[in-house]
């Protein structure tokens, strides 16, 4: 392992916190309103990862703004019922912080909603930086949000690892020049993520400790 790595960037949804059921329910609630009976659970899983705007514009440009508003209202009002951190996350992040790693979150969520999830799972004390959708012009897989997080953390790509559950995270890390790690608990599946050739695949977040030599 390259001992120079001192910075770990994480995606939020599906990586640190389990928002899968919340996101699926929010999509189904929204699409049922605009397209009754058309969308099932399996149909919305591919929508996880891109921004809401990208997803809804791909369905109907004229309704995209209203659909995003409907989604966010449902998502926020049901947030605390659904959200919890994944197994091994809290302890791993705490140990990394105690060992002096610089830690950041790079998400396609809006900052207010991202903070809601991070505070609910008590992870907020560990992160020095959160880059959210409103902080950038281009979301992952563009390198912009990852490079912004590194700048805020006073780090560089050669010293960083990007961890995520979606191809946007892996490709975003590669485009920014960081090492990358996929998480096997991705809703899209370990084999799906492996296609994008992350440097590491984590079966549990605690695998990071041995990879980073902690």
Catalytic residue numbers, as ranges: 11
Dist CA 92 CA 205 (whole Å): 6
User: How crowded is residue 124: how many other Cβ atoms within 10 Å of its Cβ?
Assistant: 13
Rg (CA), the chain: 17
* Nearest C-alpha neighbor of 169 from the set 7, 50, 64, 45: 50
| In 137-206, alpha helices (H) | 144-152, 167-176, 190-194
State phi, psi for 188 to the nearest 5 degrees. -80, -10
CA distance 77 to 62: 25
Q: Give the number of C-alpha atoms closer than 13 A to the C-alpha of residue 67, restricted to the C-beta side.
A: 23
């Amino acid at each position: 392992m390259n001992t120079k790595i001192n910075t770990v960037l994480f995606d939020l949804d599906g990586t640190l916190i389990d928002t899968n059921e919340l996101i699926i329910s929010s999509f189904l609630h929204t699409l049922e309103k605009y397209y009754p009976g058309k969308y099932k659970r399996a149909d919305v899983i591919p929508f996880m990862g891109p921004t809401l705007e990208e997803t809804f514009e791909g369905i109907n440009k004229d309704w995209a703004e209203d659909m995003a508003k409907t989604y966010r209202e449902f998502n926020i009002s049901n947030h605390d019922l659904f959200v919890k951190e994944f197994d091994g996350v809290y302890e791993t992040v705490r140990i990394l912080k105690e060992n002096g790693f610089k830690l950041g979150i790079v998400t396609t969520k809006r900052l207010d909603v991202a903070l809601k999830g991070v505070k609910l799972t008590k992870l907020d004390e560990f992160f020095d930086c959160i880059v959210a959708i409103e902080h950038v012009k281009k979301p992952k897989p563009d390198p912009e949000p990852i490079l912004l997080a590194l700048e805020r953390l006073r780090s560089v790509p050669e010293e960083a690892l990007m961890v995520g559950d979606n191809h946007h995270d892996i490709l975003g890390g590669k485009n920014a020049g960081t090492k990358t790690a996929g998480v096997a608990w991705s809703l899209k599946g370990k084999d799906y993520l492996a296609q994008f050739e992350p440097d590491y695949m984590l079966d549990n977040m605690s695998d990071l400790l041995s990879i980073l030599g902690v």
